[in-house]
Structure 1
Amino acid sequence: MTIKSKTITKGFIIAGLLNMTVLVFSRFFTNSVIPESDPDVMSNFGLLMIVIWGLAYISIAKNYHNVKWLVGVFAVEKFIYGLIWIKWILNNNVLDVFAKDKMAGMFYAIYGVNDWIFFIFFILVFFRLSNTGNKE
C-alpha cells in the first residue's frame, strides 16, 4: 500500500486538528468531569499537553520526511495513549461519565479510537520513511 506524500501531509494536519478538539470537549479546560474521571492522565495540564502534541503534528506536516524518528516518537505516544484508554475503558463505565456530562462522555468514548487510528498512521509513515531512506 502506497500513501501519497500529500495524503501524509493531510494526515498530520488532521491528527493535529483532532487533538485540538480537546478544547471543545473540555470547554477550554472548564469541564471538570474530564479531569475528575481520569485525574492522572486527563488533568487540565494533560489536556493542554494533548493540544501541544497536536501542534507538533501540524508543525511537521510538510517536512515529515526530514524527521523520521520524530514520527516514530509520535507512534509511540499514540500507542501509549491507546493503551491507557483501553485500561480506562476496562476499569470504568463510560455511561457514568455520560450521565455527568455528555461532552466528557463523548470524549472518553472516542479518544482512544482516535489514538489507535493515528498510531497506525504514524507507524505506517515511519516504516515508509525507513524503507525509502527518508527520500520522498
Structure 2
Amino acid sequence: MNATLIKNGFIAAALMNIGGVLLFSRVFTNDAINQADPVVMSNFGLLMIVVWGLAYLGAAFIQGNIRWLAAAFAVEKLVYVVVWGLWMSNHSLGAVYEQDLFAGVFYSIYGLNDLAFMLFFGLVFLSQRSNG
C-alpha cells in the first residue's frame, strides 16, 4: 500500500474521530448521545474516541513499518463495530432522532464509519512487511 495513501487514511481517521465527536456531541454538550448509550458514549467515552483520533494522527507521521499499530487500530475499530451492531439491534434509532437530530445521525453512521476504517487499518496491516 502506498505510503501517501496510508498517511492520508490515518489523517482521515483522525479527523473523523476528532471532528465527528466534537461536531455531533456539540463539544460534549449533547446529552442525547450520552443518554442513548450511557456506558460507551458517556462524555468520558466520547473523549476517549477523540484520544484515539489523536493516536491515528500521530501514527500518520510515523515513517516506517506500522504493521502492528495498524492491527491494534483494526481491533479497536472492530470492538466499536460490534458494540454499534449490538446497540442497533436493541434500540430504536427513531427514538434518538426524536430526541436530537445530531444524536440520531451520530448513531446512524458511527458504526459504518468504524467499519470502513477497520477495513482500512486491516489492509494497512496486511500490506506492511513483517519485521520478523
TM-aligned CA deviation for residue 70 of structure 1: 1.6
TM-score (norm 2): 0.94
**1:133 matched to which residue of 2?**
130
Number of aligned residues: 130
TM-aligned CA deviation for residue 11 of structure 1: 0.2
Read off the aligned partner of 1:133 and give its amino acid letter.
S
Task: Provide the aligned C-alpha RMSD in A.
Answer: 1.1
Contact 2:66 2:125 in 1 (8 A): no
How big is each residue's C-alpha offset from its partner over 1:45-95, in whole Å with a ceiling of 9 and x where there is no partner? 000000000000010103164332121110000000000000000100111
Aligned sequence identity (%):
50
Gaps of 5+ in 1: none
Q: Secondary structure at the match of 1:97?
A: helix
TM-score (norm 1): 0.92
**2:109 matched to which residue of 1?**
110
Q: Secondary structure at the match of 2:61?
A: coil
Read off the aligned partner of 1:67 and give its amino acid letter.
I
- Once the two structures are overlaid, the 10-residue window that deviates more, 14-23 or 58-67, is 58-67
Find the partner of 1:9 among 7, 10, 14.
Answer: 7
Contact 1:64 1:71 in 2 (8 A): no
